[in-house]
Structure 1
Amino acid sequence: MSLRLEWNNEQHEYEMSPAFIAKLEQLLQLAGEMEHVNEGEVALTFVDDAEIHRLNKEYRGIDRPTDVLSFAMQEVGEDELEIVYADRDFVQDGDLRDGERLDAYGEDVEGTDAEEGMEAMFDEPLGDIIISVPRAIAQSEDYGHSVERELGFLFVHGFLHLIGYDHQDEEAEKEMFAKQELILQQAGLFR
């Protein structure tokens, strides 16, 4: 299995070039290596301010836009919904029926080429990261660096939240921001 990025662009202010998407994939691999996260899927969506405002209000009760939101799939607490798959006849890859290893559709995959493909299909989702591109553009201007660097910063910030980092106090914030900066520098995204 591997650490994979799935991305979606729902905004029209900034063009996501193939080179920039490759840079995001590099950031994900670097962050994963640093944190010993070797497998899973991260869903990244680029949105406008109106959409991130809506999501911030709906999920956090904060009635204003923000730059990045992270929704970790691994946390299932009292106030969080468990993800339920609604696929017909869904079984977990690797389940056994009469001694045969099954794929997601109940088919035997032992000894087939499909076995490796099924592993990728069942990468554990780490969560979703939503980034407001207009916010990133404005912040890049405020901080005097490129839009790519700001989007990369927000992406790495969101990833670290997905795997459990937070910045509720000064010490935790210093640790998280130091990790972010190191990952960005390794990827060549300098201030």
Structure 2
Amino acid sequence: MSVFFDNRQQEKDIDSHFEKQLERVINIALELEGVIVPVEVSISFVSNEEIQELNREYRNKNTPTDVLSFPLVEREDLDNMVQAQEEILLGDIIISISKALEQAEEYGHSFSRELSYLTVHGIYHLLGYDHMTQEEKKAMREKEEAVMEALQINR
């Protein structure tokens, strides 16, 4: 698995410690989901202004959000690629560092925990999960919490 990081914000330094943590988050999520093909994921760290622009353009919502995900492969197709020799481009995760800092303070936990949670939330969107209904939200939340528990990243 490859994770490519793109830091396009100035508010918080995202060092190799954070990058390694997020790679672990993704690895655990993929492992728990039974994804055995090699994948490539891109994570971009952006400002509130940039994520608002993306949210407006792609979701028709003119407000900043914490995380956006752009899958490049359907989950069913991914599951059928068991013989893949090269990495499959799974998709892109865009995280607002401003929102992550704000939410960490609001929820009373560390920035590292919030960044990890937003990454696991994003990876589950890339894997085809959503939270449009209460049932979907519950299922996705249980999966997210399982990853956080496996990493011993608690609230």
Alignment partner, residue 14 of structure 2: 16
CA distance in 2, matches of 1:168, 1:54: 22
Q: How far does residue 74 in structure 1 lie from its aligned partner after superposition?
A: 1.0
In the alignment, structure 1 residue 179 sits paired with structure 2 residue 136: no
Q: How far does residue 184 in structure 1 lie from its aligned partner after superposition?
A: 1.2
CA distance in 2, matches of 1:133, 1:37: 28
Paired-residue identity, %: 43
In the alignment, structure 1 residue 54 sits paired with structure 2 residue 59: no
Alignment partner, residue 141 of structure 1: 105
Alignment partner, residue 113 of structure 1: none
CA distance in 1, matches of 2:88, 2:67: 22
CA distance in 2, matches of 1:55, 1:20: 24
Matched position secondary structure for 1:15: coil
Amino acid at match of 2:142: A
Aligned residues: 144
Q: TM-score, normalised by structure 2?
A: 0.89
Structure 1 segment 63-78 matched on structure 2, within 5 A = 63-75=62-74
Q: How far does residue 188 in structure 1 lie from its aligned partner after superposition?
A: 2.4
Alignment partner, residue 77 of structure 2: none
Alignment partner, residue 33 of structure 1: 31
1:137-156 Cα offsets, whole Å, 9 max, x none, are 10111110001111110100
Structure 1 segment 102-181 matched on structure 2, within 5 A = 119=85, 122-181=86-145
Q: How far does residue 169 in structure 1 lie from its aligned partner after superposition?
A: 0.9
Structure 1 unaligned blocks of 5 or more: 76-118
CA distance in 1, matches of 2:129, 2:51: 21
CA distance in 2, matches of 1:31, 1:153: 11
CA distance in 2, matches of 1:172, 1:65: 23
Greater helix share, structure number:
2
Matched position secondary structure for 1:126: strand
Matched position secondary structure for 1:130: strand
Structure 2 unaligned blocks of 5 or more: 75-84
Structure 1 runs of 4+ off > 6 angstroms?
A: none
CA distance in 2, matches of 1:15, 1:183: 25
CA distance in 2, matches of 1:22, 1:4: 11
* C-alpha RMSD of the superposition: 1.1
- 8 Å CA contact 1:127–1:162 kept in 2: the answer is yes
| Structure label with greater radius of gyration | 1
Alignment partner, residue 107 of structure 1: none
CA distance in 1, matches of 2:154, 2:45: 22
CA distance in 2, matches of 1:172, 1:147: 26
CA distance in 1, matches of 2:93, 2:134: 23
